[in-house]
Amino acid sequence: KSIHPPVKDGMCTNCHDPHQSEYKFQLKNEPPQLCFTCHEESMAKGKYVHGPVATGECSVCHNPHQSNFPKMLMANVNEVCFTCHSDKADAFKNKKFVHAPVEDSCANCHSPHAGEYQFNLKADGSRDLCFTCHEDKKDSISKASVKHGGLDTEKKCLACHDPHVSDYAKQLIAQPVDLCMNCHNKPLKTPSGGIMDMKAYLSKNNDHHGPIKQRDCSACHNTHGSDNFRMLRESFPPLFYAPFDPKNYALCFNCHEKTLVLDQNTTTLTNFRNSDQNLHFVHVNKQLKGRTCRACHDAHATKNPKHIRDSVPFATWALPIQFKITKTGGQCSPGCHQTFGYDRGTPVKNR
């Protein structure tokens, strides 16, 4: 319980004139000037002033005598706010996820009287305010060598996150893949080149990689920034050729078995084999000109089984793979070698 000090001290005449007054309730002055007799007037000054403060209606939020809540509030902080901001109250009831500071108190982020930032926020709401709690993100973003371009848009954090409530984890404003497509629905320029229109690409190629099927780009990409190219969560070779080292393929081996490229011979690990000759091993496991996974596979989507590309990306060229599958094997004719075939039963003798 909180009691206004003049009331607690029995000094009713600090605020009320016992004989006559020009103001309602025998007040000595109109609020907020009466309040400023004791309280600093600076609290009501700023570029943005809260509506009740601007109109001098302190008693909209505060009981001038006593209250069962701190700061002489009429109710707990959020209930006081919801008296006017009923749209937010409705949203809180209907959404799955509520931002922790909001659930605790609107005043964690908003100044209830006045401030220098829009919506009476205590700091720049697009990022600086977020970093007062999310210090780990501030640190990782500042250190990341590859940063998400979305962080530099006008909305910054708010381009992806709702600061109050959401139907999606991490306060996202949409399901992860749909959220990404809000920006990746057109070609984008980056410091290292560019990114294709991913929305159109995924629409045209219906054999989607597992994370895309699960509608979660963040399975492979760190959505804020990374020290790996293309904001990948783990290491993956950025170039077409790479000396083989399992550590360089940490991203792929999060889901796929390392033995797929470690065992030279197998009859169980892969169907991409000529009898028991492991053709993944042949392509990838080399110290000189080892092909990376994306030489033949697309990490997002294709029209072909096993995410086989239509063409091999080599420098500025796109060399058609011309992959053909059979019941027991297949063949390809890319520009990097003549037509080679494979068969899991009877090995093909390639020249």
Tell whether 287 and 177 lie within a shared domain: no
Q: Does 241 map to a domain?
A: no
Tell whether 218 and 261 lie within a shared domain: no
- pLDDT for the residue 154: 86
Query: How far is the C-alpha of 186 from the C-alpha of 63, rounded, in Å?
Result: 54
Q: 117 with 109: CB under 8 angstroms?
A: no
Tell whether 3 and 118 lie within a shared domain: yes
Query: How far is the C-alpha of 29 from the C-alpha of 25, rounded, in Å?
Result: 10
- pLDDT for the residue 275: 97
Query: How far is the C-alpha of 327 from the C-alpha of 175, rounded, in Å?
Result: 38
106, 122, 138 - which closes a domain: 122
Q: Does 309 map to a domain?
A: yes
Tell whether 40 and 151 lie within a shared domain: no
The per-residue pLDDT for range 277-315, each reduced to its tens digit, is 999 999 999 999 999 999 999 999 999 989 999 998 888
Tell whether 205 and 265 lie within a shared domain: no
Among candidate residues 85, 125, 86, 95, the one with its CA nearest the CA of residue 108 = 125
Tell whether 10 and 94 lie within a shared domain: yes
Q: Which residue type occupies 106?
A: C
- pLDDT for the residue 335: 78
Q: Residue 141's CB: how many other CB atoms inside 10 A?
A: 17
**pTM for this prediction:** 0.85
Q: Does 326 map to a domain?
A: yes
Q: Does 238 map to a domain?
A: no
Tell whether 84 and 173 lie within a shared domain: no
Structurally, the chain folds into a number of domains equal to 3
Q: Does 210 map to a domain?
A: yes
Q: Does 76 map to a domain?
A: yes
Q: Which residues of the chain have pLDDT under 70?
A: none
Query: How far is the C-alpha of 49 from the C-alpha of 118, rounded, in Å?
Result: 9
The strand pair at 207-208 and 301-302 is best described as: antiparallel
Tell whether 195 and 221 lie within a shared domain: yes
Residue 276 lies in domain? 246-343
Helix intervals (H) in 205-333: 210-213, 250-253, 259-262, 279-284
Cis amide leading into 32 (omega within 30): yes
- pLDDT for the residue 329: 96
Tell whether 78 and 108 lie within a shared domain: yes
Q: Does 237 map to a domain?
A: no
Distance of CA 269 to the CA centre of its chain: 36
Query: How far is the C-alpha of 108 from the C-alpha of 117, rounded, in Å?
Result: 14
Q: Which residue type occupies 340?
A: F
82, 104, 122 - which closes a domain: 122
Tell whether 135 and 103 lie within a shared domain: no
User: Taking the alpha carbons of 10, 14, 19, 24 in that order, is the dihedral positive or negative?
Assistant: negative
Query: How far is the C-alpha of 56 from the C-alpha of 74, rounded, in Å?
Result: 16
Tell whether 101 and 136 lie within a shared domain: no
Tell whether 102 and 40 lie within a shared domain: yes
87, 107, 122 - which closes a domain: 122
